Amino acid sequence: MFSSRPPCNVGDSVTDVETPALLVCLKKLEQNLNTLKEAMKSFPSVKLRPHAKTHKCAMLARLQIQSGAVGLCCQKLTEAEALVQGGIQDVLLSNQVINKKKLLRLASLAKSAHIAVCVDSERNIEDLSEAAKTLDVMLDIVIEVNVGGFRCGVEPGPDVARLAKKVMSLSNIRFKGLHCYNGRNQHIRSLADRQTAVNEVIEKTKLALSALKESEIECNYVTGGGTGTFHLEAASEVFTEVQPGSYVFMDVDYGLNLDGEEKFVSEFQQSLYILSTVQSVAENRAIVDVGLKAVSLDSGVPTVKNSGDQVYISGGDEHGVIVPPGDLKVGDQLWLIPGHCDPTVNMHEWIVGMRDGRVESIWPIGGKGPGI
Amino acid sequence: MFSSRPPCNVGDSVTDVETPALLVCLKKLEQNLNTLKEAMKSFPSVKLRPHAKTHKCAMLARLQIQSGAVGLCCQKLTEAEALVQGGIQDVLLSNQVINKKKLLRLASLAKSAHIAVCVDSERNIEDLSEAAKTLDVMLDIVIEVNVGGFRCGVEPGPDVARLAKKVMSLSNIRFKGLHCYNGRNQHIRSLADRQTAVNEVIEKTKLALSALKESEIECNYVTGGGTGTFHLEAASEVFTEVQPGSYVFMDVDYGLNLDGEEKFVSEFQQSLYILSTVQSVAENRAIVDVGLKAVSLDSGVPTVKNSGDQVYISGGDEHGVIVPPGDLKVGDQLWLIPGHCDPTVNMHEWIVGMRDGRVESIWPIGGKGPGI
């Protein structure tokens, strides 16, 4: 029913891949996995739980486990299902799951894997306990704290202790700790400003921990941080776990964080591309088959790999305009570097892994979609 | 492998639909189909070929055929495949298909349906003829003309005749006519300005027709126009076919065209919603489970149905922030009106059709994806 045909076969030359296709340079991907593994050696007491919202792909998650991760994070139930079905044993759903049918689906995953989930309301905690009881499983509960993102999460203070007590009062659920993440901080350009922003996260996290301590509730799990800040949270002596996600792929937006003073982010390599084909050439432009249904423009347009002076201009839903056209001919392939990796990956169904110009792997993006 | 579970069952109450889900009010959809059917009676010599890039759904395409369409347009090969597999007999792919493997897939569809495709280069015409010969089918070829969009298409002049002659010189392909479309014109706010823009399209189209006439090439097919301008092209006595797409669903952006002087666009009703669930409530905000992976923000944020003063602020990839929170509680559903229908639909896998608060149909979006 769905257009789930892969765009190539293993062994194909990259030039034979049908487009638009999501292409990953496996060497660069492996470098990124290794760079993070090495970086984490500076923080021996901090665990690594990469975020799978970036790739939604169990095959890639397994490489992350092989590279030292204790488990994966994800943001949607469909992602958790794809990860567990793909063999991941330990998953934190770093978001709230509300609907009762969904809570049963979540509890069902705990039959096969260790499952934790974030909460920020009492009713949700009650519903989680009910669902876990129904299926006779144990769910770990992580309280989400608003550490400055003003999205989900309770304020760092008495509400944290109130929710923890609520968790401890009910069966089949277990208080695990705190989720303290501010996504916006990842993209603050200068390291100094990012450190300042993370200091606020750390202060608020300490407030939340104090509230627990005042209520004599033990807490030895604090998770958060992303590709732009994980080393700052890891160095805080407050966080016990970090959640970088985009580091596997990188994108134009993260590239703007590279200001020369950067300790880790600048070491991650661009591994992700959108492979496009030139479908039309005119005097002043070439048109490629990648528009905003194949590359997310939320954080800016893609750049063109090895482009010289060529830039991508949005051509709407299905087209990109490349100016100047240079020597481009109809049928030529262009490699585009997406502005924002996560939502771009979500528009595709397969990750084509390539090495030395050949397709080595074709991984399904099993958790893709709006996250029902 | 893919998260292709539908978000509900037929017969469910809408309040039981798991979210994020794409919801269509069937009454409004039917009204829109009927409004267009009635509108086309003003132009008895002009045919209707709605554009399926909006919905990518064969079940909806079949309703369009039942409502007077002679066939469908689509923009990607995967959409053409979904339409033909879903029973549509006549499909114009209003875009270039380049890769030779793709051309064989296109030719294969001509075994089951009447297939036309746009071209703007000689080499592509040769490749199309080869593919059609290989599979012993006939493909109709439509020459795309740049009528002011500066995307694909040859300039209106001798190049049009050159390409038409090329088509006529080769076997298994047949010159059908001209594709003259400028997407940007659809969204020009005032009808007067839109008419001015369409006049330019019409003038350029006449130039292209003159070039054909000078070469004694007969042409009795000119296709173009969208939801915002179809009635202008239809009234031009130059266009023989129009291609509105968004009229079935509408969106916030098209809503901005409603300036009181509008003849047709203002009659189309908003039928499409993103159903979301409140997952978190704080003093100054509520958070819903629809972010930019479930609603495209390229033409602005969604609005909230029956919201009073509540607005949606982007909360990133997976969240939307609703302010003020009003009486919203965790678990409440909100209906969001997407800024831009086409790329939003492309992020989903199912269209949930509802009537009187119940789910009546669940249609797969078979042509979804980047369009490999």
Chain B 60-89, residues with CB within 8 Å of chain A CB atoms: 75-76, 78, 81-82
Give CA separation, B253 vs A45, A278, B224, B250, B275, in Å: 51, 29, 20, 8, 19
Mean pLDDT of A94-117: 97
pLDDT at A2 over 50: no
Chain A touched by B368 (CB under 8 Å): yes
pLDDT at A260 over 70: no
Chain A 95-124, residues with CB within 8 Å of chain B CB atoms: 95-96, 98-99, 101-102, 120-121, 123-124
Q: Considering only alpha carbons, which residue of chain A is nearest residue B365?
A: A2
Which residues of chain A neighbour B21 with C-beta distances below 8 Å? Answer: 370, 372
A158 CA: distance to closest CA in chain B (Å): 15
**Helices B58-66 and B77-85, axial angle in degrees (round to 10):** 70
Q: Please write the tens of the pLDDT for every residue from A118-150.
A: 999 999 999 999 999 999 999 999 999 999 999
Whether residue A96 and residue B297 make contact (CB cut-off 8 A), yes or no, is no
Mean pLDDT of B346-361: 97
- The C-alpha atoms of residue B120 and residue B161 are separated, in whole angstroms, by 11
Give ipTM to 2 decimals: 0.95
Whether residue A330 and residue B371 make contact (CB cut-off 8 A), yes or no, is no
**In a 3-state reduction of DSSP, which class is residue B123?**
helix
Q: Give me the total of CB pairs closer than 8 Å, taking one residue from chain A and one from chain B.
A: 201
Whether residue A331 and residue B18 make contact (CB cut-off 8 A), yes or no, is no
Mean pLDDT estimate for chain A: 96
- The C-alpha atoms of residue A232 and residue A253 are separated, in whole angstroms, by 19
Listed range (B101-105, B246-250, B251-255, B287-291) with the worst mean pLDDT: B251-255
- The pLDDT, as a whole number, for residue B1 is 39
- The pLDDT, as a whole number, for residue B4 is 75
Chain A 254-283, residues with CB within 8 Å of chain B CB atoms: 277-282
Kindly indicate the confidence band of residue A26, based on its pLDDT and cuts at 50, 70 and 90.
very high
pLDDT at B30 over 50: yes
What pTM was estimated for this model as a whole? 0.96
A135 CA: distance to closest CA in chain B (Å): 20
**In a 3-state reduction of DSSP, which class is residue A213?**
helix
Whether B245 and A66 have beta carbons less than 8 Å apart is answered as no
Give CA separation, A155 vs A143, A290, B100, in Å: 11, 42, 58
Q: Smallest Cβ distance to B366: which of A3, A144, A151?
A: A3
Q: Please write the tens of the pLDDT for every residue from B220-250.
A: 999 999 999 999 999 999 999 999 999 999 9
pLDDT at B2 over 60: no
Whether residue B2 and residue A316 make contact (CB cut-off 8 A), yes or no, is no
Share of chain A above pLDDT 90, in %: 93
Q: Please write the tens of the pLDDT for every residue from B109-118.
A: 999 999 999 9
Mean pLDDT of A186-191: 91
pLDDT at A166 over 80: yes
Q: Please write the tens of the pLDDT for every residue from B170-222.
A: 999 999 999 999 999 999 998 899 999 999 999 999 999 999 999 999 999 99
DSSP A126: H
Whether residue A280 and residue B152 make contact (CB cut-off 8 A), yes or no, is yes
Instruction: State which amino acid sits at residue A3.
Output: S
Tokens 């549509």 found at: B88
Instruction: State which amino acid sits at residue B107.
Output: A
- The pLDDT, as a whole number, for residue B57 is 98
Share of chain B above pLDDT 70, in %: 98
Q: Please write the tens of the pLDDT for every residue from B267-315.
A: 899 999 999 999 999 999 999 999 999 999 999 999 999 888 999 999 9
Which residues of chain B neighbour A290 with C-beta distances below 8 Å? Answer: 370
Share of chain A above pLDDT 70, in %: 98
Mean pLDDT of A35-41: 96
Q: Please write the tens of the pLDDT for every residue from A294-306.
A: 999 999 999 999 8
- The pLDDT, as a whole number, for residue B133 is 98
- The pLDDT, as a whole number, for residue A4 is 75
The tokens describing B213, both together, are 């006439």
Chain B 21-50, residues with CB within 8 Å of chain A CB atoms: 21
- The pLDDT, as a whole number, for residue B266 is 78
Chain A touched by B197 (CB under 8 Å): no
pLDDT at A264 over 90: no
